[in-house]
Amino acid sequence: MTFNHICVVGLGYIGLPTACTFAQHGVKVTGVDKNPEVIKSLRSGKVHIFEPGLQSLVEDAIKRNLLSINETPVEADAFIIAVPTPFKDGKKADMRYVIAAAEAIVPVLRKGNLVILESTSPPLSTKNIVLPILEKSNLKAGVDFHLAYSPERVLPGQILRELIENARVIGGIDEESAKAGKELYGMFVKGEIILTDSTTSEMVKLMENTYRDVNIAIANEFSRLADRFGVDVWEAIEIANLHPRVKILNPGPGVGGHCISVDPWFFVEAAPDITKLIYSARRVNDDQPEFVVELLKKNIGNLADKNITVLGLAYKPDVDDLRESPAVEIAQKLIQENCNLTIYEPYRPEFTLESAKTANSMEDAICEADVLILLVGHGQFKKLDPNIIKSKTKAKIIFDTVNVLTKSDWEENGYIIYRLGDQKEKVLSL
Ligand code: SAJ
């Protein structure tokens, strides 16, 4: 198949980098988004999300007339659906955007086209949801057009590199569809391209993120056990990981983002009777923000009227994404404890929370603080120097929920560093 023109529906964290990567490889791309703000911003060459390297790629693609932005899909050789699949009440997959994207493609779908669904979706979505919608065009899937599911598996913060280097799975509704998908992504993917059926590739995507969720849940549970038994979980994990077949992940303030905290629920929704472990892991990770606040209270007592500053609100280091962020949840819980809360997120300085002060610099964030809570391991927080910080704040207690500070350095400078799963020798008082 020849792909001279591709239409990418959904210009978020996945759709926009994908569109630009095709453009970078000389393909004409029409990027489609329903959000007028996104369209306006992109048409003026300004990227509405933060992903390293993306801004210059967009500018370049627009300048070379390889990327144009539109409200609705246009005729093309291939269509990629990369819209969000959030969850709605009851942790059920909200397929509204996928349905709307497929419906918008119907009027411009032509014989010989390829349609790829990239959005993370519950098993059977390609066959049972997208296929029947596209066939409203009076064209037959597998006969008149190809249809496949190919999940993105890129890590936010490293999307542009991983899009090219990662292995890619393409699941067709038939063999020809999978092969057509391989020709499409083969234009830039350097990793292995594996062909399978659409339901297998839907499951692969959900399995990867569920696997990680369950592994983070066990790390979080180990930190709770370490607290109970007077053990330093970080030391214990380091020792356990010397075992050649053990690789325990890091406990943290919870699991956020739009992927790992959401995707396992798609399995639970689809098959609640056989997903007890997946469900429990989700609950453990979802409870973690509450657990962090309780731990703080247990150690420093009543939080009311204390000046507390949280450093970082993003769902993980060095991204600007606040979706499902446990850090935001912890900040909200602290507000309910009636403390005087200051929030500081260097990647989203404009973000506000009712009843909290938003700081726009590190200095502003810590100058009045009694306690600092490090919630995200952003690069700039890792580099904090106790010698400099001590001249800018009276706070002597730091709760490092992500274990990025070198504890001994800070302790030598008179700080009390508190971490998850680290009850070996701690007695805190304000
Ligand atoms: N986290 C921990 N402890 C750890 C690792 C992570 O608490 O040891 C937390 C993070 O702080 C964050 C959350 O888990 O809140 C998720 O972060 P992540 O870096 O593990 O993953 P995501 O959500 O940014 O990206 C994942 C990736 N999936 C896997 O690694 C299996 C990525 O490859 C997927 O493309 C992406 O989900 C997606 O879009 O589905």
205 C-alpha to ligand 1 centroid (Å):
13
Residues paired with residue 93 on neighbouring β-strands, in sequence order: 87
Q: In the beta sheet, which residues pair with residue 171?
A: 149, 196
Distance (Å, whole) CA 202 – CA 222: 31
Rg (CA), the chain: 24
Report d(CA 173, CA 284) in Å as an integer.
Answer: 36
Hey, whose CA ends up nearest to atom 13 of ligand 1? 255
Could you tell me the distance, in angstroms and rounded to a whole number, from the CA of residue 250 to the centre of ligand 1?
Answer: 11
Active site residue 390: no
Tokens 């409200």, residue? Answer: 71
The verdict on the CB of residue 252 being under 6 Å from ligand 1 is: yes
Which of ligand 1's atoms lies nearest the C-alpha of 205?
A: 40
Which residue's C-alpha comes closest to atom 14 of ligand 1?
A: 255
Spatial CB neighbours of 137, under 8 Å, sequence gap ≥ 6: 106, 107, 109
Determine whether the shortest distance from the Cβ of 216 to ligand 1 is under 6 A. yes
293-330 residue pLDDT tens: 999 999 889 999 999 999 999 999 999 999 999 999 99
Q: Give 245 Cα–ligand 1 centroid separation in angstroms.
A: 21
Distance CA 76, CA 132 (A): 20
The pLDDT assigned to 88 comes to: 84
d(CA 261, ligand 1 centre) in Å: 9
**Structure token pair of residue 124:** 């059977």
Number of C-alpha atoms within 13 angstroms, CB side, residue 244?
0
Q: What's the CA gap between 142 and 176, in Å, rounded?
A: 7
Same CATH fold, 232-419 and 5-191? yes
pLDDT at 425: 61
Give tens-digit pLDDT for 134-181. Answer: 999 999 999 999 999 999 999 989 999 999 999 999 999 999 999 999
Which residue is closest in CA terms to ligand 1's atom 35? Answer: 153
Pocket test for ligand 1, best of 50, 210, 259, 292 (most atoms within 8 A of CB): 259
Distance 144 CA to ligand 1 centre (A): 38
Question: Residue 87: its pLDDT value, please?
Answer: 85
Give the residue carrying structure tokens 């983002």. 257
Pocket lining: 156 vs ligand 1, CB cutoff 6 Å = yes
Out of 7, 20, 259, 339, the active site residue is 259
pLDDT at 429: 44
- How would you write the pLDDT of the chain (430 residues) with one tens digit per residue? 899 999 999 999 999 999 999 999 999 999 999 999 999 999 998 999 989 999 999 999 999 999 999 999 999 999 999 999 988 888 899 999 999 999 999 999 999 999 999 999 999 999 999 999 999 999 999 999 999 999 999 998 999 999 999 999 999 999 999 999 999 999 999 999 999 999 999 999 999 999 999 999 999 999 999 999 999 999 999 999 999 999 999 999 999 998 999 999 999 999 999 999 999 999 999 999 999 999 999 988 999 999 999 999 999 999 999 999 999 999 999 999 999 999 999 999 999 999 999 999 999 999 999 999 999 999 999 999 999 999 999 999 999 999 999 999 999 999 999 999 997 665 444 4
Q: What per-residue confidence (pLDDT) applies to 430?
A: 44
**CA of 157, closest atom in ligand 1:** 24
Instruction: Catalogue the E-assigned strands of 270-390.
Output: 307-311, 340-344, 356-358, 371-374
Domain 5-191 sits in CATH at 3.40.50.720
- The Cα 128–Cα 342 span in angstroms is 48
CA distances from 27 to 68, 105, 127 (A): 12, 19, 28
With a 6 A CB cut-off, is 255 part of the ligand 1 pocket?
A: yes
Token pair, residue 135, equals 């066939």
Ligand 1 centre distance from Cα of residue 320 (Å): 14
Atom of ligand 1 nearest to the CA of 260: 23
* The CATH number of the domain covering residues in 232-419: 3.40.50.720
Closest atom of ligand 1 relative to the 152 alpha carbon: 35
Mean pLDDT of the chain: 95
Residue 427 has a pLDDT of 44
The span from the CA of 223 to the CA of 40, in Å, is: 46
Distance between CA atoms of 34 and 72, rounded to whole angstroms?
Answer: 7
- State both tokens at 170: 């393409």
* Model pLDDT for residues 4-27, shown as the tens digit of each residue: 999 999 999 999 999 999 999 999
| Ligand 1 center from residue 150 Cα (angstroms) | 19
Q: Which of 131, 121, 15 is nearest to 69 (CA)?
A: 15
Provide the β-strand partners of residue 356: 341
Residue ranges of domains in the chain: 5-191, 232-419
- 250 Cβ closer than 6 Å to some ligand 1 atom: yes
Q: Is 259 annotated in the active site? A: yes
Q: Measured from the CB, is residue 259 less than 6 Å from ligand 1?
A: yes
